[in-house]
A and B are shown apart, each in its own frame.
Chain A
Amino acid sequence: MDSKLPLGGLDALWVYLSTSPLLHLTLTLLVYLIADALFQRSGRKALLNPVLVSILTLVGLLMATGTDYHTYFDGAQFIHFLLGPATVALAVPLYRHLGLIRRLWLPILIAIAAGALVSATSAVLIADGLGASQQTLVSLAPKSVTTPVAMGIAEKVGGLPSLTAALVVLTGVLGAVIGPAVLSAVRVRDDRARGLAMGVSAHGIGTARALQISGEAGAFAALGMGLMALTSSVILPLVLRWVFSA
């Protein structure tokens, strides 16, 4: 570093780094690794969900340094890009549970279709009743769908994908926290039904929680999440058309 002008040197370094994609890529990975370590240490407390913690930390950091989102995303887009292939990869766990699907395909399909309908219509109708804007409503509708797919749907139906991503993550954390208690309250004790409900309502974050209940619950949650993504991308545009025409 320049010994005569230490601050000037730092400034130049900062200017250089903040314009290169490397900084925000590394920053995202670093923050996530720390958040994940914190999550593991806490005994996997749902409220310390690493996604939520990372997002809040990064938003704080960007605001503190006055960095705008576009500059950040130029670097972070390399991570973001992987969401597509990751969604395709969901077919692998789905295939592994093929035996389970075959035996119970009818209950699974009916329960998921009902879950998809209730999730989208209730969220949109409640938010509409409380005066949310149409753009918020549309971004809210896919809240129970796993993020990569939800963002795809939001984009298709005219919502804001980034707002949807945030609402999806919030829904996941919420579902993981209240899910087991709600299911016990309505006396759903079958691990297959508990897992499926967690996957359908709280996608990947709910699936992670269901895996802690039992392996069987986890498998049904992964199934619920995968099929919810498929069902919703078909059902949601129809629900939205119905709600907005009514």
Chain B
Amino acid sequence: MLLLCQLVGEALVVVTGAPVPGPVIGMALLFIGLVLRGGIPDGLGHVADGLLAHLSLLFVPAGVGVMVHLAMLREELLAVTVALVVSTLLTLATTGLLMTALIRWLEGSRQEER
């Protein structure tokens, strides 16, 4: 808990100069910290699991903000819808196919080494 808060604070300081959002830097820092420590402290694990279990709730206030943009969205409905659907399809297929091919390639070359 303490560690978590500290990292958020640190991230916020770093963000003033870096082109990456603060929380992402915080995440990377915490990850590095965990690797260095070689384990997850009990308290931090509980807090993190608790927060992440309710992750979807945290999106709600920001999402409600769409009401401010309703008029604009109505005007660009077609462009936004097509872009979302086609792009999501492409992303799913690209990532899935590439990952399958690469796993096959990697596991194939590992077997040859033996």
A interface residues, Cβ below 8 angstroms from B: 28-29, 31-32, 36, 49-51, 54-55, 58-59, 62-63, 69, 72-73, 76-77, 79-80, 82-96, 98, 104, 106-108, 110-112, 114-115, 118-119, 122-124, 126-127, 129-133, 136, 140, 143-144, 147-149, 151-153, 155-156, 160-163, 165-171, 174-175, 178-179, 182-183, 186, 188-190, 192-194, 196-198, 200-202, 204-205, 208, 224, 226, 229-230, 233-234, 237
Contact = CB atoms under 8 A, between A and B. Distances in A.
B27 A90 contact: yes
A201 B34 CA distance: 27
Interface string B89-101: 1111111111110
Interface of B: 4-5, 7-8, 11, 19-24, 26-31, 33-35, 40, 44-45, 47-49, 51-52, 55-69, 72-73, 76, 78-80, 82-100, 102-103, 105-106
Given A89-B4, A89-B48, A190-B99, A148 B92 contact: no
Contacts of B103: 104, 107, 190, 192-193
Given A85-B5, A233-B20, A122 B102 contact: no
A126 B88 contact: no
Q: Which 3 A-B pairs have the closest CB atoms?
A: A152-B21, A162-B65, A107-B102
A234 B68 CA distance: 29
A73 B61 contact: yes
Contacts of B57: 28-29, 32, 50, 54, 79
Contacts of A115: 91, 94-95, 98
Nearest to B66: A166
B45 to A, nearest CB: 6
Given A69-B68, A86-B52, A92-B44, A186 B97 contact: yes
B65 A166 contact: yes
A126 B83 contact: yes
